[in-house]
Structure 1
C-alpha cells in the first residue's frame, strides 16, 4: 500500500482531535499534500476509532479520486483549493471545537490579540462572509479559500474553523491556537477593552516565526 506512513499520521491526528475534544463524531476532516498533484484525505463518514490506513483516499488537485475504495470527505474541495492557492501549506485540519465554532456563529473574525496568533496564523483569523449550505461543496470551498488569504486559519460562517500548516504537527498546533484565541476573545469581548496587536507587528512576528524562530542566537525556545 502506498504512503503508509502518511496514512498513519492522518489517523493519529484524527484520534488526537478526538482526545482534545476538537471534533464530535465524524465531523471534521484531515489531509496531507503528497506532491504537487496528489492529496491524501480522510474518507466520508468513517468513525475515527475504526479508521484503518486503507480507508484513506488519494485525490488529485482537480478533485478526481485516484485511489481508495471509499468516498473522500465531502469537504475535499476545501482542501484541494487551499493547496492550489497556497504552495506553502502541506497539511490541513478542519475541526469543530466549541469556542471557535461559537465565533463562526458570531459573524466576526478574531482580531490578533495573542502572540501565538501573530506568529503561527499571521494575525487575525478571518471569517467567511456568508452562510453556505453544507451540500454546496464547491461554493463553500471557494468562499473559504478566498477568506483564508495568506493566513493559516479561517472561520467558516455558522460552521467551523479550518487550520493549516507546513506539517500535520504545525496544523495541530494551529487548531489549539485557534481554539484558545476564540475562547480568550469570547471571554473578554463585551466586558473589557480588547487590545489588538497592530497589523505591521503581526506581519513581523509571522515572518520571524517562519524564517528566524529557533535559529536566533541566544534563543531559549
Structure 2
C-alpha cells in the first residue's frame, strides 16, 4: 500500500510569486512596513497568522485583525493569479494515472479552505483526493508533522507508506518529521536548500520528470 500527499502552492500550481506579491503589497502599502522582496519570500510558509506574527511580532494584531488581513491577502492573490491558474506540467496525467491505479491521494497544505477550493474547483480535480487537510484542520503548522500525519490517518495508510510532494524546505522537514519520504518540486527553492533532509527522494522541475513514472 502506498499513498501520495500533495502540498498545494508551489507544488501543484506555480503560484508562490503571487503569494509573495500579495503579502509584499499588504505589508508595505497597507501596514506601513518597509520589507524587501528578499525579506518576504523566505516567510512564505505556515498559516497566514503565523506569517503576520513572524513579520510584525506577536502583539501587533488581534485575532480579528489577522483574520481580516488574511482574507484580504488571499483576495488579492486570487484576483491576480486567476488568469494563470493551471497545474504544473504533467500533473494532470499523473493524477489520472494514480487515481486509475487506485493509489489514495490527499492534499496536506497550510492554505486556508478558501484557497484550496479556488484551485480544486476551478481546475475540476477535487475528485482525485480522498482527504484534504488545510490550515483550519491543524493546530501546528509545518515543519510540525501534524498536517501530513492527519492526511495519512484520513487515507488509512501508515505514514511510512506515504510519499509527500513538496516545494519548500519546511515542507520537506515536516515530511521527515512524519516519517515520510518526499519528492521536491523546484519551483521556488533550489536543491541545495534541502541538503539536510535525507528523506528527499528526488528533485524535479515538474511532473513530466521521468522519475514520477517510477512512483506509479
How high is the TM-score relative to the length of structure 2?
0.26
Larger RCO: 1 or 2 (CA < 8 Å, sep 6+): 2
Q: Which has the higher helix share?
A: 2
How high is the TM-score relative to the length of structure 1?
0.25
